[in-house]
């Protein structure tokens, strides 16, 4: 279907089912139960899963295929967000022009940065992109937010004010981001027994866009262009000696992944109309690198899994506090309860970074191929139990290389 081979089609269908049914999958525990703490099926986090999924898919096109490690991709995400919010301020709260402009602006910006940074490769390329991203952050944080020329509103973040022009904003249009009148915040809550599932309009917009760009990334991976990018990764020098100029290819990959980042930034602003400078900081750039490596570099679905994994930790583990722990372990005798809470305490709440760091180390040491490799090993083990002879790799989460 859609010009994909059977394996890729089934991968796409799996991703589509996972995203469309996410409200069910992410809310496995009944509301009000002790385990409800681990539910992730609320609109904001689901939106974040797919938005950062898009970001990581785009980053993987550059890093996974060409091997160029960009440490400045957050800059494109930030630029996308700022353009989207400016569209809200100037035109209207409709998300379509905002998302379109964010992709275009991020594309142009990445063309400029890519053109300069790609003159070098390896660590020098990484450092150049890092420098550009930090420059953009500094510009957004203070230089471009002075009272005389306020483009970014600095530390506070760019937001829409009541006295902004919004020339296309209709009289009856909702006063928050919407898609032709359907507010992004609109949520339909379905109560089934003790469970409750949220279906959010903004989430489904992001989900549909993510499926589209995921499809696009499969096509890029499988195209002659994708093959050329892989050639760059395996031996760029040899490619140059054969008379091929690899720079247009790497630049194209850079711009495409920059546009993915811009799209993610635009969607982020569309879900929540505020653009903060922190999303351009180097930590944000590093995060997408982590997501890609954690999920599996160069695989199709790995980056999406990695993005989900990190965002889950950031939002769920950081919210477990001592009170919650005490309520979990209330059945233990007092002294023991305190001891257990004391042991777990450093790993939850503000300690979520620590937990994530440990998991990241474990993944890198034992599963160099990321979560995708973990999945494959599991599948293999199951297969072997069923049929000892069948050693063929199992379909769904096969790496692209």
Partner 1 sequence: MTKKNVTRRGVLKSGAVAGTGLALPTIFTASSAAAFTNEPTGSSVTLGFNVPQTGPYADEGNDELLAQQLAVEHLNGEGDGGCLNTFSSKALQGNGILGKKVGFVTGDTQTKSDAARASAKSMIEKDGAIMINGGSSSGVAVAVQGLCQEAGVIFMAGLTHANDTTGKDKKANGFRHFFNAYMSGAALAPVLAAEMGKERRAYHLTADYNWGWTQEESIVASTEALGWETVNTVKTPLASTDFSSYIAPVLNSGADVLVLNHYGGNMVNSLTNAIQFGLLDKVANGKDFKIVVPLYSELMAAGAGENIKGVLGSMNWNWQLQDEGTKAFVKSFGEKYGKPPSNSAQTCYAQVLLYADACERAGTFNPCGVAEALEDFEFDGLGNGPTWYRGADHQCFKDVLVVRGNENPTNAYDTLEIVEITPRSQVEYDPEHPMFAGGELGKCNPGA
Interacting residue ranges for partner 1, rule: CB under 8 A: 1-5, 16, 20, 39, 42-45, 48, 138, 141-142, 145, 147, 153-157, 159, 161-163, 176, 179, 182, 185-189, 198-201, 204-205, 208, 211, 219, 222-224, 227, 272-274, 276-279, 314-315, 318-319, 321, 349-350, 353
Least distance (Å) between residue 351 CB and partner 1? 9
Nearer to partner 1, 318 or 394 (CB): 318
d(Cα 259, Cα 264) in Å, to the nearest integer?
Answer: 8
Q: Is 18 helix (H, G, I), strand (E, B) or coil?
A: helix
Nearer to partner 1, 35 or 336 (CB): 35
Nearer to partner 1, 33 or 156 (CB): 156
> Which residues, at least 6 apart from 290, have a Cβ–Cβ distance to it below 8 Å?
306, 310, 360
The number of angstroms, rounded, from the C-alpha of 24 to the middle of its chain's C-alpha atoms is: 20
- Best CA proximity match to 103, nearest among 230, 187, 219, 212: 212
Nearer to partner 1, 52 or 125 (CB): 52
> Which residues, at least 6 apart from 367, have a Cβ–Cβ distance to it below 8 Å?
373, 374, 377
Q: To 10 degrees, the CA torsion angle through 401, 286, 312, 326?
A: 140
Least distance (Å) between residue 224 CB and partner 1? 6
Is 71 in contact with 129 (CB distance < 8 Å)? yes
Nearer to partner 1, 59 or 204 (CB): 204
Nearer to partner 1, 223 or 235 (CB): 223
**Directed axis angle between helix 43-66 and helix 247-271, to 10°?**
180
Name the DSSP letter for residue 188. E
- Best CA proximity match to 66, nearest among 257, 241, 242, 243: 257
Nearer to partner 1, 108 or 312 (CB): 312
Strand-pair partners of 183: 178
Least distance (Å) between residue 163 CB and partner 1? 7
d(Cα 351, Cα 353) in Å, to the nearest integer?
Answer: 5
């Amino acid at each position: 279907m859609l010009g994909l081979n059977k394996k890729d089609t089934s991968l796409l269908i799996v991703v589509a089912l996972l995203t469309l049914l996410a409200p069910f999958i992410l809310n496995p525990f009944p509301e009000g139960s002790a385990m409800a703490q681990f539910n992730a099926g609320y609109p904001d986090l689901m939106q974040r899963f797919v938005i950062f999924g898009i970001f990581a898919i785009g980053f993987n096109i550059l890093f996974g295929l060409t091997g160029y490690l960009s440490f400045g991709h957050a800059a494109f995400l930030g630029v996308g967000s700022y353009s989207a919010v400016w569209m809200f301020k100037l035109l209207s709260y409709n998300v379509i022009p905002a998302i379109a402009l964010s992709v275009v602006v991020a594309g142009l910006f990445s063309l400029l940065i890519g053109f300069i940074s790609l003159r070098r490769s390896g660590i020098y390329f990484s450092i150049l992109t890092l420098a550009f991203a930090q420059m953009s952050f500094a510009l957004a944080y203070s230089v471009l937010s002075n009272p005389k020329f306020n483009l970014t509103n600095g530390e506070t973040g760019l937001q829409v004010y009541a006295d902004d022009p919004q020339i296309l904003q209709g009289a009856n249009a909702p006063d928050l981001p919407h898609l032709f009148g359907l507010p992004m915040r609109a949520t339909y809550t379905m109560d089934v027994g003790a469970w409750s599932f949220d279906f959010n309009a903004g989430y489904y917009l992001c989900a549909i866009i993510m499926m589209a760009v995921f499809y696009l990334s499969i096509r890029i991976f499988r195209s002659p262009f994708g093959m050329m990018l892989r050639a760059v990764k395996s031996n760029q020098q040899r490619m140059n000696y054969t008379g091929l100029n690899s720079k247009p290819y790497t630049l194209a990959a850079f711009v495409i992944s920059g546009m993915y980042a811009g799209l993610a930034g635009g969607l982020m602003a569309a879900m929540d109309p505020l653009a903060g400078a922190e999303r351009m900081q180097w930590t944000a750039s590093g995060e997408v690198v982590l997501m890609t490596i954690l999920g599996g570099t160069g695989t199709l679905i790995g980056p999406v899994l990695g993005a989900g994994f990190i965002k889950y930790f950031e939002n769920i583990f950081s919210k477990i506090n001592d009170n919650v722990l005490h309520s979990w372990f209330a059945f233990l005798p007092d002294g023991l309860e305190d001891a257990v809470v004391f042991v777990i305490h450093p790993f939850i709440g503000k300690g979520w970074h620590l937990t994530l760091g440990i998991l990241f180390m474990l993944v890198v040491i034992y599963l160099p191929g990321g979560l995708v490799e973990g999945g494959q090993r599991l599948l293999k083990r199951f297969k072997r139990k069923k049929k000892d002879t069948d050693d063929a790799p199992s379909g769904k989460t096969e790496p692209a290389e």
